Amino acid sequence: MNTKTLERLYNNPHEKNIDGNFQFILFGGTGDLAHNKIMPAFYNLVEKDILPQHFTLLATGRRYSSKKEYLDAIYDSLNSKKKEVDNRVWQVLSDNIEYFELNFKDDNDFMKLKKYFADQSKNNKIYNRIFYMATAPEFFGEIAEKLKKFDLLNVGFEDNDSKLVIEKPFGHDLKSAEKLNNTLTNIFQEKNIYRIDHYLGKEMIQNIMVIRLSNPIFRSLWNTGEIDNIQIYINESEGVKDRGKYYDDAGVIKDMFQNHMLQILSLITMEEPDDLSSKSISTRKVEVLKELSKIDIESIDEHIVRGQYIFNKYGDDEIKAYQDEKNIPDDSETATFIALKLFLDNERWNDVPIYLKSGKRLKKKEAGIAVEFNHDFHNSYSENSEVQSNLLKIMIQPDEGVSLRFNTRKPGSNNKIVPVEMEFCHSAHQLFNSPENYEGLIHDMIEGDKTLFTSWEEVYYSWKFIDKFQTKCNNEDLKLYKYPALSKGPEAADELLKNDDRIWWD
């Protein structure tokens, strides 16, 4: 985040944080993302008094025909999420919301929007514009092109300095991502394009760098000599729900690996950035992703475990097989689970296996990082079965925290060992409430801080790796293991580590 701290503002709620007024134009303003993430985030930002006096949240969509209808719908969905909507907060928020009925297939609607901007301009109500794409991804390019075609970007301004916010996915492979990127960068400057990976907004993901850089002990230990292996896991318990159409094309590899998993991987393994600027950090992340994109995929085919969930009974509940979910073909071979092992061929990580795992319909919703340190115990302890490896865990969700495991003497024993876990829990440790991811992200896009957004280069090299990986899986007919819904996934994923004399730490 930027130089002004959210935190200070939480402590001094009457101090304004964001100085410049702005206009937020939401495409897909009536959709799930708007209801579930964006509006609640704005509500919280208003509640904490972080927004400037003047801002407009211009929601566009087709579903409602009046502002009143729209506000009622938003109010209802806020009400269903909050214990109670504070009327004072709602008053401020709703005063700043405008609803603009717009079908983005209809050129006329864009003309109307342009007129709306022009009217604002006449009334000196021009603010910096942030165009937020909260629609289905296939429309991102189309909408951007219409913004250009109908010259909506410059209304009231000399230069087009408008920002564009893009939700994931950014393309569905390298080629489509490049095409989309070409379209967007023809219209917006790269510096004004904010590609959201909402994982980057998570508290513990932002903590990775703090842990690595502000602790000399971890800085010293952060290399192949000291670390035995690294594990990153995002286990989901949900199925594909009503995203079947998107998901069956994407699979877990595009849904989770191309973005969140690779972003976490790069933050954990990158070289230290020169400073904390988004540019310096991105440079280091790109180095890792570039490295990944060079991996000889042939060399890791034995290190890939693909899985798909099948029917299971869980208590009284019958859990559908993936192939029986809505919009999923009966014979779909899409992987809903992938575990894999890979290496980074550089000085720091030479010989350190990195294990990645993510899947849907797993037993426990849990995301985290485990850094297992080497096994250089003193010879008097190396054969001791009670001794366990030192383990640093960064828990991302649902628990947020850090734990470190080390061996200590079992009190009163004859030098028996007991491994203990020292834990600092962020979510339990209520310094103050952790903000919603989207609050932080929205705050940063308004303020112009790109640290928590992915650069084009990052996207490019991520896709380069994922494309190779995907091609490999498609061409070679890699085995697809079936695993019962709400189980811990295919046995083969455990075997992958067992073969290396290791276990998963999730």
Binding characters for a second copy, 41-70, by CB under 8 A (x = yes): ------------------------------
Is 435 a binding residue for a second copy by CB under 8 A? The answer is yes
Q: Which of 260, 378, 426, 443 is catalytic?
A: 260
Q: Considering only residues 144 through 203, tell me which ones interact with a second copy, judged by CB under 8 A.
A: 203
Chain mean position to CA 46: 24
Is 272 a binding residue for a second copy by CB under 8 A? The answer is yes
Long-range contacts from 489-494, C-beta under 8 angstroms, 24+ separation: 489/235, 489/307, 489/337, 489/339, 489/357, 489/359, 489/362, 490/305, 490/307, 490/337, 490/339, 492/305, 492/307, 492/339, 493/305, 493/307, 493/337, 493/339, 493/357
CB of 339 to a second copy, least distance (A): 26
Give DSSP secondary structure letters for 337-384.
Answer: EEEEEE---STTTTT--EEEEEESSBSS-EEEEEEEE-----HHHHT-
Cβ burial of 4 (10 Å; 0-12, 13-18, 19+) is middle
Among 25, 33, 270, residue whose Cα is nearest residue 168 = 33
CA–CA separation, 330 and 320 (whole Å): 12
**And the tokens for 381?**
């302890």
Q: How many CB atoms lie within 10 A of CB 98?
A: 19
The CA–CA distances, whole Å, from 37 to 198, 365, 441 equal 11, 20, 11
Using CB under 8 A, which of 79, 276, 317, 327 touches a second copy?
276
CB of 393 to a second copy, least distance (A): 12
CB of 450 to a second copy, least distance (A): 14
Using CB under 8 A, which of 434, 457, 492, 500 touches a second copy?
434
Name the phi and psi angles at 336, rounded to 5. -100, 0
CB of 375 to a second copy, least distance (A): 7
CB of 134 to a second copy, least distance (A): 24
Q: Which stretch binds a second copy (CB under 8 A): 282-290, 339-347, 348-356, 397-405?
A: 397-405
Using CB under 8 A, which of 54, 81, 122, 424 touches a second copy?
424
Is 431 a binding residue for a second copy by CB under 8 A? The answer is yes
User: Does 260 participate in catalysis according to the annotation?
Assistant: yes
Binding characters for a second copy, 349-388, by CB under 8 A (x = yes): ------------------------xxxxxxxxx--x--x-
Q: Tokens 């990082």 — which residue?
A: 369
CA–CA separation, 140 and 135 (whole Å): 7
CB of 301 to a second copy, least distance (A): 32
Using CB under 8 A, which of 221, 297, 478, 480 touches a second copy?
221
Is 283 a binding residue for a second copy by CB under 8 A? The answer is no
Is 4 a binding residue for a second copy by CB under 8 A? The answer is yes
Tell me whether residue 311 or residue 373 sits nearer to a second copy (CB atom).
373
Positions annotated as catalytic residues are: 260
